A = this chain, B = another copy of it.
Amino acid sequence: MCQLLGMNCNTPTDIVFSFEGFTQRGGTTDHHTDGWGIAFFEERACRLLMDCQPSATSPVAHLVRSYPIKSLNVIAHIRKATQGEVNLQNCHPFVREMWGRHWVFAHNGNLIDFHPELDGLYSPIGSTDSERAFCYILQELRRVFEGRTAANPPTPVEINAALKPIAADVARFGVFNFCLSNGQVMWAHCSTNLYFIVREHPFTTAHLLDTDVLIDFADHTTPDDRVAVIATAPLTDNEVWYKMLKNESMMFVNGHPL
């Protein structure tokens, strides 16, 4: 399996604290050593950094930890291969363009015998069940919103309604926890394991589970800031994380779970 990390905020925020703990699971505190990746949105485009090396030792992950990139929407993933070889084209997150925006997707789980009919609009580059699921989701969203263009895209609320049955359809094939973002909002679907926390005023301290790092968010925030963090397993040991229900889908907007 793999581990997911998502962040959705109302003000550009760096993910260095969460990423610090998360990447320890790629070789130090856990065995997710088959590559990793992180996508940071900047407006409608994302910056994607990834590596086939374990995240705990990768020079690219070191760059991410030492060069804070602020973003409203971030998705990260560390991989423990279940389907597909260990190589770059099988690393999450996956990125495609739709309606003049990047779309970013990362998956935790395993889909058995999932080979949807793809019409060629989006084709997998690698050999994972995850990328097939992503291509299928985008294809189905295009089908639901046929005729919509970059000049006239569906709203996040419209997309949210369309996404739920598509996610449920794919989830019939196995474990399907995912984070998806188009830079406007973040969608999270829980099939078995997905947690989130919303940090907002009054901010307090947080202590990482995977490495002995403590932060006082009050030192780094304003009273108006709000940040939602989504993860396969809680990243801190002194905060209460909400465990999403089986088959629960949520949309995060400006750090608010809806």
| Contact between chains at A100 and B123 (CB < 8 Å) | yes
**Which chain B positions have C-beta within 8 A of A87?**
42-43, 45
A50 to B43, CA, bound (A): 15
Which residue of the partner chain, among B95, B99, B101, B125, contacts A100 with CB atoms under 8 Å? B125
Centre residue among A50, A66, A89 by max chain B CB count within 10 A: A89
The number of residues on chain A lying at the interface, defined by a beta carbon within 8 Å of a beta carbon of chain B, is: 33
- Proximity bits, A39-74, B CB within 8 Å = 1, else 0: 000111101111000000001100100110000000
Q: A150, B123: Cβ atoms under 8 Å?
A: yes
A165 within 8 A of B: no
Q: Bound complex: CA of A5 vs CA of B47, how far in Å?
A: 20
A122 at the interface (CB under 8 A from B): yes
Residues 1-46 of A at the B interface (beta carbon under 8 Å): 42-45
How far, in whole Å, are A98 and B98 apart by their CA atoms in the complex? 13
A92-132 to B contact mask, C-beta < 8 Å, 1/0: 00011111111000000000000000001111111000000
Spell out A's residues near B (CB within 8 Å).
42-45, 47-50, 59-60, 63, 66-67, 87-89, 95-102, 120-126, 149-150
